Amino acid sequence: MIYVNDLRKEFKKTIKEPGLKGSLKALFKPNNEIITAVDSITFHVPKGEILGFIGPNGAGKSTVIKMLTGILTPTSGTCEINGYIPQKNRQKYVKEIGVVFGQRTQLWWDLALRETYSVLKEIYDVPDAEFKSRMAFLNEVLELDDFISSPVRTLSLGQRMRADIAASLLHNPKVLFLDEPTIGLDVVVKDNIRNAIQKINAEEGTTVILTTHDLADIELLCNRIVMIDKGKKVFDGQISELKREFGQMRDLHFELTHTDDFDKLVYLEDFKVTQDDVEIKNEGASVSVRFNSDKISVEDMLSYTLAKVHVKDINVKDADIEEIIRRLYKREVSIDEV
Amino acid sequence: MGRMFRLHRIFVAQYMKNLMEYKVDFLTGAISFLIGQIVQIATIGIIFSQIPDLEGWGFNEILFIYGFSLIPKGIDHLLFDNLWSVGYFIVRKGDFDKYLTRPINSLFYVIAEKFCVDAFGELFMGIVLIVYSLIQLKLTLTWYMIPLFIVAVVFATLIYTALKIGTSAIAFWTKASGHITHMVYMTNDFSKYPTTIYNKVVRTLITYVIPFAFTAYYPASYFLGKGEPLFCIGGTVIAAVVLMFISVCIWNRGIKAYESAGS
Amino acid sequence: MKFKKFMRTYRPFTRAGMLESVAYRANFICFLLGEIMSCFIMFFVWKAVFNSTSGQDFMGFSMNDMVVYLFITFLTGYLTYSDGTYAIATEIRDGSIAMRMIKPCSFDMCFLFQELGNKIFNVLVIFTPIVVGVEAYKWVITGSCQFNVVNFLLYVVSLILAYLISFYFNVSYGFMAFYLKNLWGADILKECIVNFLSGATIPLAFMPPFLASVLSFLPFSSLSYTPVMIYMGMYSPFEIVYKMLFQVFWLAVMILISKLVWRHAVKRLCSQGG
């Protein structure tokens, strides 16, 4: 369905030194630098999958999406979607895809929402009958009825996003690109949008490529994630794989019976590990220890703790996905491990 | 082609709906451009109150050339105004993304999206001046002048549009090019007067480099019976076709260099 | 002491304006070239006019005077140009004018100093070449240096007064432009009318006598015609004093109007909740 091969994008950037002096210098001798925003990325998405595309700010996610949607021309490498090369048969190709950029709207700002859809109907050449049934379906999934007659500028952010997603689905695209569709939305609206995406994916088999910073989106929606950082792919696989590979950090929580006992716990010295592998926090009687289960087994950890101190309550938790990703973003987990 | 006209009609219809909400906006725009023209004509009037003719051109002839210049300028302003936005901010802000994710030609989409009714001020004044000066001059028009007039106006409009397309496409490389469009566009004022009053450098510039002379003076002088039809009308057609070809090439290459913006 | 504090508060605005103008220098230069085109058009038109008249003079102006008039008017127009209309109308529209209210400085001074910073670069690029060019032209035509230092200095004073009038006029007009909705149209409307009424399009002396005398009493002639006439040495010492006092009078009126307008804008913001 989607084949991305060795995709690369470079930008030229003018470096300007700060202050007036810098501006004057740039006037006579502009200083250019080539920046590689996307560096040899390869991946493949089968039909009907929901792929989560994640990475820290400035990692190059949007640049990849923009190349896949035909907006940017790659410096080198290829992408092929449904047999089309986006930049080559652009007008034909974009009929097969829907695009939502969460940060900007494609709706006609001053017109009633309904009008946007009738203009899009013409742009995409959707036949009347199909348009009717399509609108009915989108209405049901995204609940547009309440505000379809209001001018777009009066819509709330949540309504606008629903309207934008509907706009991108009007022509029944085979692939849907969503660039941060839940940005700035409240919990309830996020839920609605996720449900809608799931429903559309399930009922129509639409392939979805999603970028987001909200990891709940990823956990609830995506079968698979591709993570990029500084333009390079750093992870590609199932979420469970991610957990298996990078989820070695565990959290141990307990309540001390005697608060003074805390000083007896000297994990670092007794296990001969560094602070990278064991991290201790305490607040009165309550203590939490984050430890690397590759270095210290859960069993050793528990027996050591129980031998040293009296506790009221004790439990061990898996690191959650957010923690894993935080560590990946901060480069605590090296790329070589992938 | 048929689909394009249909789409354009729909865009215009949507735009007009929009406009009804902003009546004050429309009136301000149209009246502003109208008054702008009146002030310029008053200037010409004051000058001519002191002299019998300007290097062989009478007041009414000058008014005819001036009025003629407003018609292609106004039509371009009416239909192709959104090109200014391309050079000033659409590309810089990354809003051009939108035009590339639609299954219609991006240039057509940008152009069709906006319809600038401010231009009615110019068009109205242009027609008034042409009609007034023709009556004053008592010119006899033959039937074939009407199709020739339409041809001249259409291609003269395309000269304006082509220059705007070409210069605004520069923004795909430089992010913003509205000021370049402005610089080129401003030379159009030269075409409101007979080129005979200029020196050779200016004459060459506005005939062969930025051929604005073909948007008013040359075709108008033919209708005033002072110019060769082959050069005056034919030149307009050729200039428009050549410029349009170059501009569309620049535009198409520019799209490939487009860098979008932000995240 | 007070002055020092004043400068410390507003110098950053000047600096920001300067940086802005340097950053957009290419735009500025292209824009300038586009605008100066109209000067050359009028140059050729006037040349043709002088060719078509029988005498040497056209209503008291020689061709030489006309050239000086055209370019010095252009220069004056450019230097007294103020962006207040657009900036203020936009800020009222999108509500960002509220940001000016929470800053511990007066709104007009912020604008003014930012714009002055913007002008520094522009003055360097445009002022010297045009003045030198015009003086060189006169030298070549008449065969002797005609530069009059006193007139020049008086011109600079009058120019500064003209800029301040223009600034406060634009601030006030910006508020009205907000009501006209179409900012671009409103701006064009203002430009055309002001250019005509101020004598920038055509010298007031060429206009029908009644119109000319009415226009000379309106504030617009203070914007362009007065400084240009001073530069050209067309006024007697008595006239110069009289015209400059007139400029001061209109400046005071414009400041007053802009204050009233600002107070109104604040009220409107408060009642609307920004």
The residue that leads in pLDDT, C11 or B163, is B163
CB A89 within 8 A of CB B103: no
Answer whether residue B45 shows pLDDT above 60.
yes
pLDDT tens track for C176-233: 776 766 677 777 788 888 888 888 888 888 888 888 888 888 888 898 999 999 998 8
Residues 6+ apart with CB under 8 A from B193: B54, B62, B65, B217, C41, C44, C45, C48
Q: Is residue C271 over pLDDT 60?
A: no
Average pLDDT over every residue of B98-120 = 87
> Which of A22-26, A37-41, A313-317 has the weakest average pLDDT?
A22-26
For an interface test with B, the pick among C44, C57, C204 (most B C-beta atoms closer than 10 Å) comes out as C44
Q: Which of A72, A90, A110 sits opposite B18 (nearest CB)?
A: A110
- Is the Cβ pair A69, B260 closer than 8 Å? no
Strand order across the A286-292 sheet: A278-283, A286-292, A249-256, A311-318
Q: Which residues of A touch B95 (CB under 8 A)?
A: 104
Instruction: Determine the distance in angstroms separating the CA of A8 from the nearest CA of chain C, rounded to an integer.
Output: 31
CA distance C114 to chain A (A): 15
Question: Interface pTM (ipTM) of the complex?
Answer: 0.83
Segments making up each domain of chain C, as ranges = 2-272
Q: Look over chain A and give the mean of its residue pLDDT values, rounded to a whole number.
A: 84
* 3-state helix/strand/coil string of chain B: CHHHHHHHHHHHHHHHHHHHHCHHHHHHHHHHHHHHHHHHHHHHHHHHCCCCCECCECHHHHHHHHHHHHHHHHHHHHHCCHHHHHHHHHCCCCCCHHHHCCCCCHHHHHHHHCCCHHHHHHHHHHHHHHHHHHHHHCCCCCCCHHHHHHHHHHHHHHHHHHHHHHHHHCHHHHCCCHHHHHHHHHHHHHHHCCHHHCCHHHHHHHHHHCCHHHHCHHHHHHHCCCCCHHHHHHHHHHHHHHHHHHHHHHHHHHHHHCCCCCC
Q: How far apart are CA B165 and CA B251, in angstroms?
A: 7
Q: A100-139: string of b/e by CB count within 10 Å (b at 16+)?
A: bbbeebbbbebbbbebbbbbbbbbbebeeeebeebbebbe
Q: How confident is the model at residue C274 (pLDDT cuts 50, 70, 90)?
A: very low
pLDDT at B136 over 50: yes
Measured between beta carbons, the chain B residues lying within 8 angstroms of A103 are 262-263
pLDDT at residue A268 above 50?
yes
| Alpha-carbon span B62 to B194, nearest angstrom | 8
- At residue B249, the pLDDT reads 96
Check residue B65 and give its pLDDT. Answer: 94
Q: Is the pLDDT of residue C3 over 70?
A: yes
Q: Does domain A248-318 have CATH number 3.20.20.140?
A: no
Does residue A29 sit at the B interface (CB-CB below 8 Å)?
no
Q: Which chains touch C (3 or more CB pairs under 8 A)?
A: A, B
Chain C residue with Cα closest to B53: C52
Among A34-43, A226-235, B176-185, C103-112, which is the least confidently predicted range? C103-112
- Tell me, what's the pLDDT at C273? 41
List beta partners, residue C24. none
Chain A positions touching B92 (Cβ under 8 A) are none
Mutate to test the interface with C, among B186, B192, B196, B210 (most CBs of C within 10 A): B186
C216 vs B13, more confident:
C216
The pLDDT assigned to B206 comes to: 92
Compare C117 and A173 and report the one with higher pLDDT.
A173
Q: How confident is the model at residue A335 (pLDDT cuts 50, 70, 90)?
A: very low
Whether B47 has a pLDDT exceeding 60, the answer reads yes
How distant is the Cα of C41 from the closest Cα of chain B, in angstroms? Answer: 6
How far does the CA of residue B98 sit from the closest CA of chain A (Å)?
A: 7
**Taking CB atoms and an 8 Å limit, are C52 and B52 in contact across chains?**
yes
Of C27, C41, C185, the CB nearest to B190: C41
* Whether C118 contacts C112, CB under 8 Å: no
CATH 3.40.50.300 fits A2-8+38-243, yes or no: yes
What mean pLDDT comes out for the span C100-118? 76
Model confidence pLDDT, tens digit, residues A86-139: 888 888 898 899 999 888 888 887 778 888 898 888 888 889 999 999 999 999
pLDDT of residue A338: 38
Give the model's pLDDT for residue C191.
83
Beta bridge partners of C36: none
Q: Is the pLDDT of residue A176 over 70?
A: yes
Cβ of A27 and C25 within 8 Å? yes
State whether residue B176 sits within 8 Å of chain A by CB.
no
Min Cα separation B18/chain C (Å): 14
Confidence of residue A336 (pLDDT cuts 50, 70, 90): very low
Nearest to C201 among B28, B43, B182 (CB): B43
pLDDT for C246 beyond 60 = yes
Yes or no, beta carbons of B24 and C179 under 8 Å apart? yes
- Chain A residues closer than 8 Å to B173 by CB: none
Q: Answer whether B32 sits within 8 Å of C185, measured CB to CB.
A: yes
Please give the Cα distance from A199 to B41 (Å, whole number).
Answer: 65
Q: What is the pLDDT of residue B262?
A: 64
CB contact under 8 A, B101 and A87: no
Nearest CB to C186 within list B28, B184, B186: B28
For A288-320, how does the pLDDT look when each residue is reduced to its tens digit (9 = 90+)?
888 888 788 888 888 888 888 888 888 888 766
User: What is the average per-residue pLDDT within A57-75?
Assistant: 88
Q: Which residue of C has its CA nearest to B191?
A: C41
Instruction: Taking residues B113-135, report their average pLDDT.
Output: 89
A290: helix, strand or coil: strand
Instruction: Specify the pLDDT at position B238.
Output: 95
For chain C, positions 1-20, list CB contacts with chain A under 8 A. 15, 18-19
Q: Which of residues 105-144 of A touch B (CB under 8 A)?
A: 106, 108, 110-111, 115, 118-119, 122-125
- Chain C residue numbers with beta carbons less than 8 Å from the beta carbon of B39 are 192-193, 195-196, 201
Partner residue facing C26 (CB), from B40, B179, B202: B179
Q: Is pLDDT at B31 greater than 70 in this prediction?
A: yes
Q: Does A174 touch chain B (CB under 8 A)?
A: no
Structure tokens at B230: 């082959």
B17: chain A residues, CB-CB within 8 Å: 111, 115
Domain boundaries, chain A: 2-8+38-243, 248-318
- CB contact (8 A) between residue A69 and residue B100: yes
Tokens of C78: 């450019």
> Which chain A residues touch C25 with a CB distance below 8 Å?
27
Closest CA–CA distance from residue C226 to any residue of chain B (Å): 20
Q: Considering only CB atoms, which chain B residues are within 8 Å of C192?
A: 32, 35-36, 39
pLDDT for C89 beyond 90: no
Could you list the beta-strand ranges (E) of chain A. Answer: 2-15, 31-45, 50-54, 76-81, 97-101, 175-179, 207-211, 224-229, 232-238, 249-256, 278-283, 286-292, 311-318
Instruction: For residue A66, give the nearest of B21, B103, B260 by CB distance.
Output: B260
Is the confidence at residue C77, as pLDDT, over 50? yes
Chain A CB contacts of C18 below 8 Å: 20
| Contact across the interface for A101 and B105, Cβ inside 8 Å | no
Q: What is the pTM of this model?
A: 0.82
**DSSP letters spanning A93-159:** HGGGEEEEETTS--S-TTSBHHHHHHHHHHHTT--HHHHHHHHHHHHHHH--GGGTTSBGGGS-HHH
Residue A337: pLDDT band (50, 70, 90) is very low
CA distances from A205 to A41, A182, B9, C124 (A): 25, 21, 35, 64
C-alpha span between C230 and C238 (Å, rounded): 12
* Mean pLDDT of the B43-72 span: 89
